[in-house]
Amino acid sequence: MKFKQQLVILGLVVSANAIGGSIDYLSQQDAEYLAHPAMVGKIGVSGAYYNPAGTVWLEDGTYIQVNNQTHLKEYSMQHGDYKFKSDKASPVVPSVQIVRKKGDTAFFFHAGAIAGGGSVAYSGGIATFPQIVSGNPIFEAIGAKYTGGSTIHGKSYYVALQGGVARKFTDAWSGAVGIRLVDAERKFKGEGNFEYNSFGFLGSGKAKFDIDSERTAFGVAGIFGLNYHPNDRFNLGMRYETETILDFDNKEHNLKNGFRNSTGNQMIGDAFYNAIIKDPAIKQWMSEGSGKRNLPAMAAIGASYKATEKLTLLASGNYYFIKETSDELGNFDHYDNGYEVAVGLDYQLDEKWTLMAGYQYTDTGANEKTYTDTDYVLDANMYSTGVKYKYSEQLELMATYSYVDYKNDKNLKNIKYSKHVDAFGLGMIYKF
């Protein structure tokens, strides 16, 4: 049985959006993250992902946390007078954590979308289409122009199962080891239409960009954690994840034949094809784009401090080793290493209700040399809040919200990119 089919049995139908993280990573692995993203130093069931070594400091018992996130998102790109927008929502982004704690040992499990950019649908095409004929002397000579196209559909998600064991070393220190299995899929499908009129022996006609590309890979990563818990007020969590080797296989076969068949003139069709596949936005989706695009190794550290009986302060940071990551396709060229810094707080109103709030800044390591229509990650400020309700000793419920304010930017070809996301989370924690 395929790995993705096993996830369907678990009810994990994933369509994720890159809110936090760097390159392909997604930091938002449960609903609580959307209330305060400084999660690495917390002791809780969410530690099955954020702080696995901290799970041994829970009370004895079996815990399950079920989450869903809903992302309302708007992405846009613009070149000259051409503007393309995707406002496709991701209504169901589920994840689950399970922890079994007894004595000095805890077993932890997490399932969700570890990486990817989610689903998008750009009406009429992407900005690369008008840009590819703008300023190109060959296309100027034959009077080529972009005339519109179908909705361009893109999807990028990496579903993951991870689990491991945590153990106390001393009265203050604990450690954890785990493994993660990743099934990655990236899709790009759609059409774009061009016209040309050479007023000469080449005549006039139309050309069609027609692509249906699917890239898939499977990878494994190691997870290591440490936790320092000297007293009931302070906790320090640490996590390291190894680089995940993802050797993608690309199955695209349509684009070249599409240009030749639509023009009826092989020379014109080849001219369009040879020009457009050199663009970084398209090159990686061709059959020649098979190869490694690994997830980088990353390190995280965070702390929680109970300042008063009601107030707990949180801080954490993630660091992504992008420059050391294997990438045979050149997608990560010109990137710097990325990082995130986050702060947050829990304020307990009474025995039932807890207010949560937080902020995160994300530096993705990207810049104008890295942005393409099919692969742009923008720096962002994230503002978060939420509430947690303790229904009983066994059951807790939470509702959370984040607004992600991305920094608009453009690439070297003067294509402008922008995003904004509203994310809503619902979570339930049950102790057996």
CA distance 315 to 313: 7
Residues with Cβ within 8 Å of residue 186, at least 6 apart in sequence: 116, 155, 156, 214, 215, 216, 248
Q: What is the pLDDT of residue 407?
A: 94
User: Which percentage of the chain shows pLDDT scores above 90?
Assistant: 60
In the predicted structure, residue 264 carries a pLDDT above the cut 80? no
Q: Does 3 have pLDDT greater than 80? A: no
User: Would you place residue 9 in the very low, low, confident or very high pLDDT band (cuts 50, 70, 90)?
Assistant: very low
Model confidence pLDDT, tens digit, residues 17-39: 346 666 677 888 999 999 999 99
Higher pLDDT, 432 or 197: 432
- Angle of CA points 101, 104, 107, to nearest 5°: 40
pLDDT of residue 150: 84
Whole-angstrom Cα distance, residue 332 to residue 377? 11
Phi, psi of 270 (to 5 degrees): -65, -35
Between 192 and 44, the more confident residue is 44
* Higher-scoring residue by pLDDT: 20, 222: 222
Report, as an integer, the average pLDDT of 151-162: 90
CA 130, 133, 135, 141 torsion-angle sign? negative
Task: Output the pLDDT for position 399.
Answer: 98
Q: Is the pLDDT of residue 5 over 80?
A: no
Specify the pLDDT at position 231. 96
**pLDDT digits over 370-385, tens only?**
998 888 899 999 999 9
The percent of residues above 70 in pLDDT, for the chain, comes to 93
Per-residue pLDDT of 385-410, as tens digits, reads 999 999 999 999 999 999 999 999 99
Weakest-pLDDT range from 134-138, 152-156, 197-201, 249-253 = 197-201
Average pLDDT of the chain is: 89
Task: Select, from the ranges 53-67, 146-160, 409-423, the one with the highest average predicted confidence (pLDDT).
Answer: 53-67
Listed ranges 10-19, 110-119, 290-299; the one with the highest mean pLDDT: 290-299
Q: Residue ranges of the domains in the chain?
A: 3-431
Return the pLDDT at 288.
Answer: 67
Q: Which of 265, 245, 322, 257 is nearest to 286 (CA)?
A: 257
Q: What is the mean pLDDT of residues 218-245?
A: 97
Task: Measure the CA–CA gap between 179 and 15, rounded to whole angstroms.
Answer: 23
Fold classification of 3-431 is Porin (2.40.160)
The pLDDT of 412-423, averaged and rounded, is 93
Which residues, 6 or more positions from 174, have their beta carbon under 8 angstroms from its beta carbon? 53, 54, 56, 57, 166, 167, 168, 226, 227, 229
Could you tell me if 33 and 21 are in contact, meaning their C-beta atoms sit under 8 angstroms apart? Answer: no
Task: Count CB neighbours of 102 within 10 A.
Answer: 11
Give the per-residue pLDDT at 258: 78
Higher pLDDT, 287 or 148: 148
Above 50 in pLDDT, residue 121?
Answer: yes
pLDDT of 8 > 60? The answer is no
* CA-wise closest residue to 250 among 331, 132, 351, 332: 331
Task: Give the residue-averaged pLDDT of 325-352.
Answer: 92
Under a CB-based contact definition with an 8 Å cutoff, are residues 238 and 54 in contact?
no
Q: What is the pLDDT of residues 163-198, one digit of tens each?
A: 999 999 999 999 999 999 999 999 989 888 888 887
